[in-house]
Amino acid sequence: MNAQFEELIARLGEIADFNNAAGVLSWDQQTYMPPGAIRARAQQLTTLRRTAHERFTSDEIGQLLDDLEPQVAELEPGSYEASLIRVTRRDYDRQRKLSADLVARLTRTTALAREAWERARKASDFALFLPHLDEILDLSVEIAEALGYEDRIYDALLDRFEPGLKTARIEALFAEMKAGLVPLGQAIAGQQGRADDTFLHQDFPVDRQWDFGLEVITRLGFDFEHGRQDRSAHPFTTSFTPADVRLTTRLSPGNFKSALFGSIHEAGHGMYNQGIPMDLARTPLARGASLGVHESQSRMWENIVGRSRGFWTFWLPRLREYFPSQLEGVTVDAFYRAVNRVEPSLIRVEADEVTYNLHIFVRFEIENLMLERKVRLSDLPELWKTKMEEYLGVWPADDADGVLQDVHWSSGMLGYFPTYSLGNILSAQFYDQAVSEIPDIPAQIEKGEFGSLLGWMRTNIHARGAKYTPAELVELVTGGPIRTEPFLDYARSKYAEIYGL
Ligand code: ZN
């Protein structure tokens, strides 16, 4: 590597240090910071993030990229040097297109909108949030125009989370998912008695939930030498380098499922972060390929592994030692059915595997209508209800359980929701590929052995960091395009068996 490359690496490393330091402060804000520190912390975060942004979008970085691009043109695209230049260029061009003024206006607007959204949700009054959403939509359109797009305005916003993926492709994938999942959900709706989960709604002391969760994620392969778990109001995972990955979880005595599967989900994200090679650290390659690919890891561990019969064949006897009275007489089969109970509900974050994606389709369609100015914002509460009835057969009684339930729009994150469904699609596609190469994986899971599956994900997904776009990665790993069949086959056969369809 020549001096210019070394120069670029050094600069990117410093920028990463600013961002990672901001990450530590932000993690602290959501876990341990006393409430009175909020203003001071906001200043610290603004300074660090602005400094990182200014350094990254500097003319010097642009010049280095200009000089280095011809030098790596002949290298293999997956090589460290070629990937680093390509991905840094993509990030650089994107961030240069957004003026400092636009970024500052977005920061200000979303800070106020977040507060307004919390008030509006509490009061279940969309009108309180409407003027803020109006501003955020204007800003989102401005951002999309600045970033540019060829076909659909949604493309520009989606590309921030799923590099290279187009709205039309997402629509095609979602249409296949809809065609499979809506009838499946309807068939299940008539069979509710088959999955009784009442025993899960007893009192499960939170300290034991905590201990059991730790035991599970340790055995799955989350490395506590390079990570930790803490409590927060909203579970999340963050990583400062692959050597320091933080999970959070939320515990409540009456909601055993939410804490355990939440912990497994976040550990799935965390193991991805820990699996990124240290020699990619402090560069733009030291992250997941996309949010959807990230979500494929969390959803695979949470659902395909964590809600499988084999998994509970191993874990239920152990869980019974933690909660002997609550689980007295509960068989593996009964437990398996209980954690896979399907029930159309109003709230996305509480949704089961079958209906979860339907919530996403509602949001994706509405966001497109918003960005294409095909719906008046004041009509959103009604539109939301109509679509919820169409997809899930439920009708929100109020805005708190309807259009106001998610934080994303108040944070300016239009274009984000499809990443969740994409994660589900990819979770099954990657898992199928792993099992086709290592057929013993389901038998290993039944014995409480998860090393082969994690090892396959490490080699094929984690070790590549952000070198490839989601479509490139899927092609490389599975030899074909992104496909919905693995997820639909998985969902149909699993739930046909549970519900006797
Ligand atoms: Zn997630």
Going from the Cα of 338 to the center of ligand 1, the distance in angstroms, rounded, reads: 22
Q: What are phi and psi of 246, to 5 degrees?
A: -115, 130
Q: How far is the CA of 265 from the centre of ligand 1 (A)?
A: 6
Query: CA angle 24-30-32, nearest 5°?
Result: 85
Predicted confidence at residue 48, as pLDDT, reads 93
- Buried b / exposed e across 5-39, counting CB within 10 Å, b at 16+? beebbebbeebbebbbbbbeebbebbeeeeeeeee
Rounded to the nearest angstrom, the distance between the alpha carbon of 303 and the centre of ligand 1 is: 12
SS3 (DSSP) at 245 = strand
Residues 6 or more apart whose Cβ sits within 8 Å of residue 326: 199, 202, 203, 204
Q: How many CB atoms lie within 10 A of CB 180?
A: 19
Bridge partner list, 248: 230
Per-residue pLDDT of the chain (501 residues; tens, 9 = 90+): 799 999 999 999 999 999 999 999 999 999 999 989 988 998 899 899 899 999 999 999 999 999 999 999 999 999 999 999 999 999 999 999 998 889 889 988 998 898 899 999 999 999 999 999 999 999 999 999 999 999 999 999 999 999 999 999 999 999 999 999 999 998 998 887 778 899 999 999 999 999 999 999 999 999 999 999 999 988 999 999 999 999 999 999 988 999 999 999 999 999 999 999 999 999 999 999 999 999 999 999 999 999 999 999 999 999 999 999 999 999 999 999 999 999 999 999 889 999 999 999 999 999 999 999 999 999 999 999 999 999 999 999 999 999 999 999 999 999 999 999 999 999 999 999 999 999 999 999 999 999 999 999 999 999 999 999 999 999 999 999 999 999 999 999 999 999 998
Distance 289 CA to ligand 1 centre (A): 14
- Could you tell me the distance, in angstroms and rounded to a whole number, from the CA of residue 234 to the centre of ligand 1? 11
HEC states along 441-459? HHHHHHCCCCHHHHHHHHH
Q: Measuring CA to CA, how many Å separate 149 from each of 145, 393, 419?
A: 7, 35, 19
Cα 66 to ligand 1 centroid, rounded to whole Å:
36
**Is the CB of residue 349 less than 8 Å from the CB of residue 338?**
no
Q: Which pLDDT does position 195 carry in this prediction?
A: 82
407 CA to centre of ligand 1 in angstroms: 15
- At 87 the pLDDT is 98
C-alpha span between 31 and 19 (Å, rounded):
18
* Residues with a beta carbon under 5 angstroms from ion ligand 1: 295, 298
Q: Per-domain residue ranges for the chain?
A: 3-126, 167-358+410-499
pLDDT value at residue 116: 94
Rounded to the nearest 5°, which phi and psi values hold at 231?
-100, 145
- 269 CA to middle of ligand 1, Å? 7
* Span from the CA of 149 to the centroid of ligand 1 (angstroms): 27
CATH code of the domain occupying 167-358+410-499: 1.10.1370.30
Distance from the alpha carbon of residue 267 to the mean position of ligand 1, in angstroms: 10
Can you give the pTM of this predicted structure? 0.96
For residue 233, what pLDDT is reported? 86
Question: Which residues are known catalytic residues?
Answer: 266
| Selection from 67, 65, 113, 73 nearest residue 89 by Cα | 65
